[in-house]
């Protein structure tokens, strides 16, 4: 992908970046994806996303700010893969398809971008295995996305967040509460992700997923990585250019911790780089609010409320076996190994790039930003876990390592 293509047609090229300028997750589980006709890595440009309507025997509940009043009552967006599976077939008398909307898959497989009728993206409930886990969207997850969006929006409106920060809000969702034969319920939902980042920078022209900055374009592998192309448009030394980008990411991560008591899952899929029409860096954009951890002891330390309707989903407690481990896991592993490492790897081909200097400066910045957190927030070691599927396991086997690279 040429950077000029992005600047000339940012909307059309964004989907191409999501799907084809993407090496997939470093875990290797990106092969666990949706069907051929809906796969992000496939050749299908778009597909019809069913809109189904449940009968009165199924309770359908709105979550968040219902600003999308054009939706017919009792309807849900439903991934087409779900409709042919036994669960939906067994309750076929309770629902019918009433409409569809043309969408294109994004990088995650179950998140799709509407390319007609609506100007938003939809994150869907998916019955099958995507990556490491199945992707149910129940009421707690929808509530969490809404509550996290509200917390971050409040911090932005108060003016405490770094001016380079913005995020994609998830303000509304809907779920169906489907009764099972054993008397329990399956909650199947969707959440809407707004396509315009908040706040919207006046000079923002395009945004690029971080994974696209260092991946080769599968359809144009001869092109330089986008991070190299962007550097060639700057008027600053390579080390300063790299540090500017990583500083914006780290500030986004720590601002959200310090001012919201929330921890972003800031890997290369969830963070995007905003550029202006000249290819200059203007913002870092966070997405996937449903994946954000709500750190209750940290929020109490910061004088913030600790009551969430989404409890216990994505709520961290001081008594959790992995409480401090998760602090390292999200920063050292998700941000460090999945975003910073491959970005620095890609910049190695640029003459004059000094990785050791950049790494030392990152450590200095992290030391400075960590001073706003409790002294025990980060453990002395850093943690990741084995490259395995952990579906339905209550305790993940975290692995401790000495000498964190970026703190």
Identify which of 123, 298, 275, 290 has the alpha carbon closest to the alpha carbon of residue 193.
Answer: 123
The span from the CA of 64 to the CA of 21, in Å, is 33
* Helix then strand then coil, % of the chain, to nearest 5: 35, 25, 40
Q: pLDDT tens digits, residue range 346-397?
A: 999 999 999 999 999 999 999 999 999 999 999 999 999 887 766 666 678 8
Q: With 80 as the cut, is the pLDDT of residue 58 above it?
A: yes
Choose between 127 and 213: higher pLDDT.
213
Q: How far apart are CA 327 and CA 382, in angstroms?
A: 9
Integer-rounded Cα radius of gyration of the chain? 21
pLDDT tens for each residue of 130-162: 765 677 899 999 999 999 999 999 999 999 999
The residue-averaged pLDDT of 322-341 equals 97
Annotate 158-172 with b (16+ C-beta within 10 A) or e (fewer): eeebbebbbbbbbbb
* Non-local CB neighbours of 335 within 8 Å, separated by 6+ positions: 249, 250, 253, 266, 267, 406
Return the exposure string of 307-318: e unless at least 16 CB atoms fall within 10 Å of the residue's CB, then b: ebebbebbbbee
What are the backbone dihedrals phi and psi of residue 206, each rounded to the nearest 5 degrees, phi first? Answer: -150, 160
pTM: 0.94
Both ends of the chain: CA-CA distance in Å? Answer: 34
In tens, the pLDDT along 227-267 reads 999 999 999 999 999 999 999 999 999 999 999 999 999 99
Go through the domains of the chain in sequence order and give each one's CATH number. 3-401 (1.10.510.40)
Handedness of CA 309, 312, 315, 319 (dihedral sign): positive
**Separation of alpha carbons 178 and 157, rounded Å:** 38
pLDDT band at 70, cuts 50/70/90? confident
For residue 70, the SS3 value is coil
Check residue 354 and give its pLDDT: 98
Q: Residue 261's pLDDT is what? A: 98
Angstrom distance (rounded) from CA 354 to CA 347: 9
Residue predicted with more confidence, 70 or 90:
90
Residue 322 in contact with residue 397, Cβ under 8 Å? Answer: no
Which backbone phi and psi does 43 adopt, to 5 degrees?
A: -90, -10
What pLDDT digit, counting tens, does each position of 206-219 carry?
999 999 999 999 99
Nearest Cα to 215, choosing from 20, 6, 355?
Answer: 20
By CB neighbour count within 10 A (0-12 exposed, 13-18 middle, 19+ buried), where does 235 fall?
Answer: exposed
**Contact by Cβ (8 Å): 290, 191:** yes
DSSP state letters, 236-274: S-HHHHHHHHHHHHHHHHHHHHHHHSEE---STTTEEEE
Which two three-digit tokens encode residue 327?
Answer: 């602090």
Of the candidate ranges 25-29, 57-61, 87-91, 122-126, the one whose mean pLDDT is the lowest: 25-29
To the nearest whole number, what is the mean pLDDT of the chain? 93
Give me the residues paired with residue 63 across strands: 173
User: According to the model, what pLDDT value does residue 391 have?
Assistant: 60
Q: Give yes or no for a contact between 180 and 190, defined as CB atoms under 8 angstroms apart.
A: no
With vertex at residue 119, the alpha carbon angle to CA 270 and CA 13, rounded to the nearest 5 degrees, is 60
Rounded distance between C-alpha atoms, residue 75 and residue 162, angstroms: 39
Q: What is the pLDDT of residues 259-313, one digit of tens each?
A: 999 999 999 999 999 999 999 999 999 999 999 999 999 999 999 999 999 999 9
As a whole number, mean pLDDT of residues 106-111 equals: 89
Please give the share of the chain, as a percent, with pLDDT higher than 70: 96
**pLDDT at 25 exceeding the cut of 80:** no
The pLDDT of 200-208, averaged and rounded, is: 95
pLDDT at 199: 97
Q: Would you say residue 30 has pLDDT above 60?
A: no
């Amino acid at each position: 992908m040429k950077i000029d293509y992005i600047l000339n047609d940012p909307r059309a090229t964004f989907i191409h970046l999501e799907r084809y300028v993407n090496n997939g997750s470093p875990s290797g589980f990106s092969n666990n994806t949706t069907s051929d006709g809906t796969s992000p890595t496939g050749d299908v440009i778009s597909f019809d996303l069913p809109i189904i309507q449940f009968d009165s025997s199924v309770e359908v509940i709105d979550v968040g700010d219902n600003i999308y009043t054009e939706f017919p009552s009792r309807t849900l967006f439903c991934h087409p893969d779900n409709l042919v599976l036994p669960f939906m077939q067994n309750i076929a008398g309770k629902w019918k398809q009433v409409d569809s909307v043309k969408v294109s898959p994004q990088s995650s497989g179950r998140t799709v971008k509407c390319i007609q009728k609506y100007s938003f993206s939809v994150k869907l409930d998916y019955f099958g295995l995507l990556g490491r886990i199945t992707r149910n969207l129940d009421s707690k997850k929808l509530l969490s996305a809404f509550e996290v969006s509200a917390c971050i929006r409040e911090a932005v409106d108060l003016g405490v967040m770094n001016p380079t920060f913005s995020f994609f809000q998830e303000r509304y969702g809907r779920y169906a509460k489907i009764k099972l034969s054993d008397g329990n319920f399956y909650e199947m939902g969707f959440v809407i992700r707004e396509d315009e980042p908040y706040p919207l920078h006046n000079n923002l022209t395009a945004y690029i997923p971080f994974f696209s900055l260092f991946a080769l374009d599968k359809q144009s592998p001869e092109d330089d990585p986008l991070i190299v192309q962007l550097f060639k448009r700057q008027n600053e030394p390579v080390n300063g250019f790299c540090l500017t980008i990583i500083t914006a990411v780290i500030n986004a991560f720590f601002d959200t911790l310090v001012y919201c008591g929330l921890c972003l899952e800031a890997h290369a899929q969830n963070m995007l780089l905003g550029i202006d029409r000249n290819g200059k860096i203007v913002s870092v954009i966070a997405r996937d609010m449903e994946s954000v951890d709500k750190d209750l002891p940290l929020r109490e330390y910061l004088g913030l409320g600790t009551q969430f309707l989404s409890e216990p989903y994505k709520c961290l407690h001081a008594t959790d076996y992995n409480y401090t481990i998760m602090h390292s896991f999200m920063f050292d592993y998700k941000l460090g190994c999945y975003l910073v490492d491959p970005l620095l790897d890609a910049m190695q081909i640029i003459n004059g790039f000094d990785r050791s200097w950049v790494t030392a400066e990152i450590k200095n910045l992290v030391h400075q930003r960590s001073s706003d957190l409790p002294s025990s927030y980060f453990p002395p070691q850093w943690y990741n876990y084995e490259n395995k599927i952990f579906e339905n396991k209550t305790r993940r086997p975290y692995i401790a390592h000495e000498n964190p690279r970026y703190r």
